[in-house]
Amino acid sequence: MKYILVTGGVISGIGKGIIASSIGTILKSCGLRVTAIKIDPYINIDAGTFSPYEHGEVFVLNDGGEVDLDLGNYERFLDINLYKDNNITTGKIYQHVINKERRGDFLGKTVQVVPHITDAVQEWVMNQAMVPVDGHKEEPQICVIEPSATGEQKTKPTQNSVRALRGLGLSPDLIVCRSSTPIEMAVKEKISMFCHVNPEQVICIHDVSSTYRVPVLLEEQGIVKYFKERLDLPIGDSANNLLFKWRNMADRYERLQKTCSIALVGKYTKLRDCYASVFKALEHSALAINHKLNLMYIDSIDLEHSTEAEDPVRFHEAWQKLCKADGVLVPGGFGIRGTLGKLQAISWARSKKIPFLGVCLGMQLAVIEFARNCLNLKDADSTEFEPNASFPVVIDMPEHNPGNMGGTMRLGIRRTVFKTENSILRKLYGDVPFVEERHRHRYEVNPSLIKQFEQSDLSFVGQDVDGERMEIIELANHPYFVGVQFHPEFSSRPMKPSPPYLGLLLAATGNLNAFLQQGCKLSSSDRYSDASDDSFSEPRIAELEIS
């Protein structure tokens, strides 16, 4: 097992997660099995109870782990499935050591930070690094570790960061410099001289049009050859077909001409990281159909009548955005704030036949909106918002016994069974009898009421294996009105877009029917087309499967 640590001491949020993911992608493209671990300093056991405005999106893994959003980058770039133990927190380590002490594992010794906590971190990393993550059940060969770190091309911060690292007894093998523009050779040589590394050990990554370009930039600067020599890796001096596909994908992204506008109506729109996976899933799907994504973030409160009275300009600007959108997405969330605005956006999409996708809470609100405006059940509501609702369309159905806030949700991968062959989403998934997607929710559509909806064209085409939990809705006589209780964005990959999101983008660009008529077949070509043609008379979707 070889370990690669990606750390940084200049500022937080400068791109260490993307660098770590890109390094892993390059090494995987060389035929190596790669895993990744993120180490966070906070005392929380996991990210499950964080406010989105604190740390951005909570990413959910197959095993139900609620983790840092950087693990989402690792999974998307490397096309792997990580586990909750791939995200280490101070809280997890201390809880692990204290539990051992309570069991008497330390035989009465005084438990201290050194050596017990430090040993626990090392033991955890070494054990988790050996866990297969790519579906082949083979142990990884490389583990990329990212310890969390709490304008002009300045070199002083870099020097101070390296000095602090050396103070811990560590010397960097590579220094990756992030900048807005390509770094001048004089700056690179100065970093080399003052940080005591060779010039070829200074890697420069400037701002690029998309993160898909980062692995390509790293490979062009000889990083494969360096890793091969430094770690004695059994690889050639260059990457294989996978990186060639990444390069083509980055080239295609930069050449896109046609645009598709999607309105994301949510309550956490002030911080884009709150919807990081949703944005990526939309981007993956847009790229697959040769369109540039124009994602318009709309604060759902701005669509409400209370905003019209308080701030008419903001109200009208929000509605102008919604009216200009080719498609509407209402993502997951918690709490009553902003739900009226989301309901109005859903009503607009349904009545005006604008393509719509509702995810988790977005699906539940679509059911509530339909009940109120199509079934004339004006008191229809969710018990999350109104515990004593006279017509509870959405109810609390905990999968586990209620207890601490961190253990009451339905989390992780679950199976959804299609109840009919006449389903748009079933066709988009490849006409399979069931799918397995990740969940993160407490509330469900009330199963005792579904007959009233299905008599009025709203069908529950997907349910759990017991037929008790409603997983997928589809509205008849609409271009694309779909809701899913699960979070398909967590499984989307750059070369394998999520089917519900792909369906939204296809419908928003007017290509869904043609795609369905062709049997939802993706091109068998290994090449990415540079065309920005809308026509689906021949398969135009890029090769999306990594061979």
Q: Which of 146, 384, 437, 489 is catalytic?
A: 489
pLDDT for 423-454, tens place per residue?
999 999 999 999 999 999 889 999 988 888 88
Poorest-pLDDT segment among 80-89, 340-349, 389-398, 485-494: 389-398
Tell me, yes or no, if 75 is annotated catalytic: no
Q: Which two tokens stand for residue 43?
A: 């005392």
Lookup result for tokens 């085409």 = 461
How far is it, in rounded angstroms, from Cα 169 to Cα 23?
24
User: Does residue 528 carry a pLDDT above 70?
Assistant: no
Q: Per-residue pLDDT for 154 more than 90?
A: no
Both tokens of 23, joined, read: 């390094």
238-243: Cβ within 8 A, 24+ apart: 239/26, 239/29, 239/30, 240/29, 240/30, 240/31, 241/29, 241/526, 241/547, 242/25, 242/28, 242/29, 242/546, 243/25, 243/26, 243/29, 243/215, 243/216, 243/219
Give residue 543's pLDDT band: very low, low, confident or very high (50, 70, 90).
Answer: very low
Is the pLDDT at 13 greater than 70? The verdict is no
Q: What is the pLDDT of residue 179?
A: 83
Strand locations in 317-464 (E): 327-330, 356-359, 380-382, 391-396, 410-418, 434-441, 443-445, 458-463
Q: Which of 360, 369, 474, 543 is catalytic?
A: 360
Give, in order, the Cα–Cα distances in Å from 473 to each of 24, 388, 426, 537.
Answer: 38, 25, 11, 29
**Distance (Å, whole) CA 238 – CA 216:** 11
Cβ-contact 484, 457 below 8 angstroms: no
Tell me the average pLDDT across 518-546.
45
Q: What is d(CA 30, CA 169) in angstroms, rounded to the nearest whole number?
A: 31
- Whether 474 contacts 370, CB under 8 Å: no
Domains and CATH numbers, the chain: 33-140 (3.40.50.300), 256-518 (3.40.50.880)
360 is catalytic: yes
CA distance 366 to 356: 10
Residue 264 pLDDT greater than 60, yes or no: yes
Fill in the amino acid letter for 488.
Answer: P
Residue percentage of the chain with pLDDT more than 70: 89
Highest mean pLDDT among 8-12, 171-175, 218-222, 297-301: 297-301
**Do 449 and 403 form a contact (C-beta atoms < 8 A)?**
no
